[in-house]
Structure 1
């Protein structure tokens, strides 16, 4: 099982959009191809925003992750949000997510990140367990969101 994490190129946008469509459907999140496609292109064109990796198993795209960078006084400077980590349903349960976590941490360290944040849907015990086994912990806070657009 040859697992690789590859930086996307311009012709990979459709591959990632296809994976995003599956992820958003799985998580019951509204997906807007034009809006999400533009956000993805913005991310590709501005590495200060974050990064995206395509997860390939034997040269087949089986998932992706997106890390977005931020800045925090509490976390002593640059921090990151693991915005999306998705493995196609056909390839879940093979330990791919577990193998992604050290790569995500490595990339964050390489980019000067002090802390990584993420959110887990209530009831997604498999993901929660993966993240906790990778060193993430709760902080007795809730993530609140207000849309500005």
Structure 2
């Protein structure tokens, strides 16, 4: 199994919808098919705010990663956020997520990305271990805060 990455386009929507639904169900997120489709459509159409990468063979992806972009004065330019990362349960534990977490940020750095962030539950020791291995570190000085609009 490989963490081959493919930039997803509009023709990947149906395969991606199934993966996103599986992730949101597993993570107990309250999203609807309509809201998922509305969020994914612009990313797949190429808006500059983010992109989606399929993990594994594009015909039968085993996961996906959503990256969104912002601009940071503190970090000196283009800033990224891993909004979602999902690997099908049947293929987890084989290093695929680790490969994707290393390869994709490195490739995006070649395009000017300066930093990349992700959100993690501090109680999820497996995720923390994976992210640390991939070079991410907890930022003790900042807390991620949210305001729903």
Structure-1-length-normalised TM-score:
0.91
Residues 1:89 and 2:89 are matched in the alignment: yes
Structure 2 residue runs of 5 or longer lacking an equivalent are none
1:68-98 CA deviation, whole Å, 9 max, x = no partner? 0001111111100011110011111111111
Structure 1 residue runs of 5 or longer lacking an equivalent are none
Separation (CA, whole Å) in 2 of partners of 1:131 and 1:40: 24
**Corresponding residue for 2:148?**
147
1:86-111 CA deviation, whole Å, 9 max, x = no partner? 00111111111111112221232133
Structure-2-length-normalised TM-score:
0.91
- In 2 relative to 1, CA 131–42 (structure 1 residues): closer, same or farther, beyond 3 Å? same
Equivalenced residues, count: 148
The CA RMSD over aligned residues, in Å, is 1.7
| C-alpha deviation, 1:58, in angstroms | 9.3
**Corresponding residue for 1:9?**
9
Separation (CA, whole Å) in 2 of partners of 1:46 and 1:118: 22
Tell me if structure 1 keeps the 8 A contact 2:3–2:97: no
Separation (CA, whole Å) in 1 of partners of 2:62 and 2:70: 27
